[in-house]
Amino acid sequence: MSVHERSCPSAMPNVTLFKYDKPDLAGRKKSVRVLARTDIALVAAQVVSDGGENNLHSHTYLDGFWLVLAGRARFYTTDDVLIADLGPMEGVVVPRGCPYWFERSGDTDLVRSVVQTNRQRPLA
């Protein structure tokens, strides 16, 4: 991952450029890389070789925008109800407060990106 800040005119915040390089999992089942963040948003990429986030959970303050870049993912909600079966370049928005969990569903690594926004409190 490489991150570069570029200056904007003094009345504007700086922009951040970033690049994602798929990590070597080195025997781990998953890896998450934060690519960039502001006080109310975060963008990250995750590689999952097995499983996923198998516990049902929700985020009180975060809306999540998930995009599958490679592989396949299934997202579920309460009582294991399927809400999305996604392939490359398909996504789902999980609004704050919505319980969900996901799993890798193909036979190749799942690579996905997420943008999370938080209007209630800063992302520290």
Whether residue 44 lies inside any domain: the answer is yes
Whether residue 107 lies inside any domain: the answer is yes
Whether residue 74 lies inside any domain: the answer is yes
Whether residue 64 lies inside any domain: the answer is yes
DSSP string, 78-94: GGGEEEEEE-TT-EEEE
| pLDDT value for 105 | 94
Please report, for the domain that includes residue 79, its CATH number: 2.60.120.10
Predicted TM-score (pTM) of the model is: 0.81
Quote the number of domains for the chain.
Answer: 1
Whether residue 51 lies inside any domain: the answer is yes
Contact yes or no for 110/91 (Cβ under 8 A): no
Could you state, in chain order, the average pLDDT of each consecutive group of 10 residues for the chain (124 residues)? 55 79 85 88 91 87 93 96 97 95 93 87 57
**Domain containing 107: what range?**
28-117
